[in-house]
Amino acid sequence: MDSLLIKNLRASVAGQEILRGLSLQVPKGEVHAIMGPNGSGKSTLSKVVCGHPDYEVHSGEIFLDGEPILELEPDQRARLGLFLAFQYPCEIAGVSNANFLRAALQARLPKGEEIDAVAYYKRLYEKMDMLEMDRKFTARSVNDGFSGGEKKRNEILQLAMLDPKYAILDETDSGLDIDALRIVADGVNRLRGPNIGILLITHYQRLLNYIVPDVVHVMVKGRIVRSGGKELALDLEEKGYDWILKECAEEISA
């Protein structure tokens, strides 16, 4: 089965072990959500999967459609079809959004092949319209001076343009007001389908009202401690994280 498969992953940052034997499989065609208290290592997981150099992997494996990716550079992982929407997107002054996206797409083409500019802009405008983004955002520097919500929308624009096989969205809902949340969720819902696996990381259940996941995982202290259907998210909304921390106390401290 084609999937993003994570096996028994242990990883640390700044000398502290954050992921402590995490296993997870996101099959192509499904949307999985990871919920968990702040500090449980959700963003760490997304960065390790994408190959952030600050994070050290001690053991475990990650496979993209059966291919091991831990030895690959971030750009190689991206070329294999991996995408990450950051929790805190960075600003790149002096590089326009349109040039940035074009360079990202160009980098995936075989040597000697050029992007067709007319087709590129047509597609860019289509995706921007879908996300209700003003055209002026093509000329503005990447995320430079964007509001929190505009940055998140811009991450989804990148997702739509790059058309990856697996996408990790790290708290794409945070900082969005309800209208922006709907637009972003509509965008993701239009992109979901049999050819993409999506991992939604979120602290709150709210996003999952709009993007209904196939599976919900709960992450605590660097491990998945529970997996279930979308009802699990509602349970967490209603009862908070405390009950799960109690129920899984032994597992968590092990």
Interface with ligand ADP (CB under 6 A): 13-14, 18, 36, 38-44, 54
CB of 87 to Mg ion, least distance (A): 5
Give the residue with the Cβ less far from Mg ion, 87 or 154: 87
Q: Where in 74-93 is the site for Mg ion (CB under 5 A)?
A: 87
| Residue 220 CB contacts under 8 Å (≥ 6 apart), including other chains | 36, 37, 40, 241, 244, 245, 248, 252
CB of 46 to Mg ion, least distance (A): 8
C-alpha span between 237 and 179 (Å, rounded): 21
Q: Do residues 70 and 41 lie in contact, with contact meaning Cβ atoms separated by under 8 Å?
A: no
Residue 13 touches which of Mg ion, ligand ADP, none (CB < 5 to 8 A by kind)? ligand ADP
Binding status of residue 46 toward Mg ion by CB under 5 A: no
C-alpha span between 106 and 188 (Å, rounded): 23
Give the residue with the Cβ less far from ligand ADP, 13 or 248: 13
C-alpha span between 37 and 219 (Å, rounded): 8
Q: What own/partner pairs with CB < 8 Å and gap ≥ 24 does 237-246 have? A: 237/204, 237/205, 241/36, 241/37, 244/218, 244/220, 245/37, 245/220
CB of 48 to ligand ADP, least distance (A): 9
Candidates 11-19, 37-45, 147-155, 204-212: pick the segment binding Mg ion (CB under 5 A): 37-45
C-alpha span between 43 and 37 (Å, rounded): 12
CB of 16 to ligand ADP, least distance (A): 6
CB of 68 to ligand ADP, least distance (A): 23
Give the residue with the Cβ less far from ligand ADP, 38 or 253: 38
Binding status of residue 43 toward Mg ion by CB under 5 A: yes
Q: Which residues bind Mg ion (CB under 5 A)?
A: 42-43, 87
